[in-house]
Amino acid sequence: MTVRIVMIKFISGSIIMFKINTETNSIEEIPEKSFSELGFSERKHLQEWLTKTPSALGEELLIIQKEFDGFDETRERLDLLALDKQGSLVVIENKLDDSGRDTVWQALKYASYCSTLSKTKIIEIYQTYLNKHENSISAETKLTEFFGSDDIADIKLNEGQNQRIFLVAGSFRKEVTSTVLWLLNYNIQLQCFKVTPYQMEDKLLLDVEQIIPLKETKEYTIRIAEKNSDEIQTITEQRTSQINRNNFWKYLLEYANKKCNLYQNISPSKDSWISTGSGISGISYNISISRENCRVELYMQRPNAQDNKIVFEYLLKEKDEIENKFGEPLIWLRLDNKKACRIKCEMQGVNYYNKEDWKKMAEFLTDRIMKLEQAMREPLAKVAKQLKGRE
């Protein structure tokens, strides 16, 4: 017997879930349950589900704290605190079978408290969370990964009055939904998610549905607030970062050009990396800097993702010989979920903002990029012949 699941939404707004039996060409209703009758609790279950799978709320979110109580002169605590892909703080308040009457007021208070959190404070809050739950991983590293940035200085967090509120509950009282709809007219970024558990024999299912604002309803689209003084501060920080990078590259290039010819025709940059060719289109030798580390790498970014994987796999077969010539182990990153691949060597604990680190960074980067180019020269020559045969 083949069983499929389908949900039907009626004009009244109610939803019934059915399982489809393809053999009998019929459907059978799957019973809707309440969290309380299934023995689930708000903190132990619903909160943990959303912590582990925040994408259930319809977008990529980064949970940075739970049971957050870091508000001055108050013992109140919010359920979950997250960041969205635009760097906005997201206050997530969970209720089980009933939203209660005061959930909007409670969430608004939390959002107002969070509106004052600086970028530095947010990183500190996230680091505290990671120290407790993820074995002290660096918050700055996790944030740069989430936002796809090489430098924490380029990331904007909690700008202006763009804090968002997510209300999650099994059902919403009319006084809650009417208040939310009214607040949306004033650009308060509120979203309501109805969560419904179902039981199908020995299996439990969960439906998460955004009910306000309706995704199809343009008049409730949430708009981004205007820039304020905090954004100006972030822009100033970005400019400072660009100036520091440019100054470091001037220092590095002056040092490196005395040792090798790899970067003779490269100009200082405001970016976090500089690059030079390997002799193969789409494969380059990169030097990258951040406020936590610096690295050299062979970066494979040809237009055809398969070419990059082929190059990587060929070089991986020569790993022992390459690392013997290089003089130390390299970090090999095939990056299966991305088009590019990289092979790198890095130094941790250095910061291009700190001029006292510049000399050892320049020595490390220059020495390692020369060794990397020498170690890769012969293998890449063989790779070039293989790629030419594919063209």
Does 115 have pLDDT greater than 80?
Answer: yes
Average pLDDT over residues 58-68: 93
Provide the number of structural domains found in the chain. 3
Least confident segment among 45-54, 224-233, 312-321: 224-233
Among the residues of the chain, which ranges form H helices? 47-52, 103-114, 119-133, 139-147, 174-184, 229-256, 305-317, 319-326, 358-390
Domain identity same for 23 and 75: no
Contact of 98 with 171, CB cutoff 8 Å: yes
What is the predicted pLDDT for the residue at 109?
92
Is there a cis peptide before residue 213, judged by omega within 30 degrees of 0?
yes
Domain contains 127: yes
pLDDT, residue 72, reads 66
- Examine the domain organization and report whether 82 and 49 are in the same domain: yes
Is residue 211 domain-shared with residue 71, that is, in the same domain?
yes
pLDDT tens-digit map of 207-218:
998 988 876 554
The band of 69, judged by pLDDT with boundaries at 50, 70 and 90, is confident
pLDDT digits 0-9 by tens, 9-53: 544 455 788 888 888 888 888 888 888 889 999 989 999 999 999
Answer yes or no: do 358 and 304 share one domain: yes
What pLDDT is stored for residue 334 in this prediction? 94
Mean pLDDT in the chain? 87
- Segments forming the whole domain that contains residue 117: 42-226
Instruction: Tell me what the mean pLDDT of segment 157-170 comes to.
Output: 92
Query: Which two three-digit tokens encode residue 101?
Result: 């009457």
Query: Is residue 324 located within the same domain as residue 377?
Result: yes
Is residue 233 domain-resident? no
Confidence of residue 227 (pLDDT cuts 50, 70, 90): very low
pLDDT at res. 8 = 54
CB atoms within 10 A of CB 216: 6
Q: What is the CATH number of the domain that holds 179?
A: 3.40.1350.10
Domain assignment present for residue 126? The answer is yes
pLDDT at 265: 84
Q: Is there a single domain that holds both residue 191 and residue 278? A: no
Residue 196 covered by a domain:
yes
Does 158 have pLDDT greater than 80?
yes
> What's the rounded Cα separation, in Å, for the pair 19 and 5?
4
Examine residue 236 and state whether it is found in any structural domain, yes or no. Answer: no
Residue 117 has pLDDT above 80, yes or no: yes
Q: Which of 248, 255, 329, 322 shows the shortest CA–CA distance to 289? A: 248
Mean pLDDT, residues 84-91: 95
CATH number for position 284: 3.30.1460
Query: By three-state DSSP, how is residue 199 classified?
Result: strand
Residue 240 pLDDT: 85
76-85, 177-186, 325-334, 336-345: least confident range: 177-186
Residue 261 has pLDDT above 50, yes or no: yes
**Would you state the pLDDT for residue 99?**
80
Whether 240 is covered by a domain: the verdict is: no
Read off the pLDDT band of 224 (50, 70, 90): very low
Query: Quick one: what percent of the chain has pLDDT higher than 70?
Result: 89
Mean pLDDT of the 271-293 span: 93
Whether 144 is in a domain gets the answer: yes
Q: Do 132 and 267 belong to one domain?
A: no
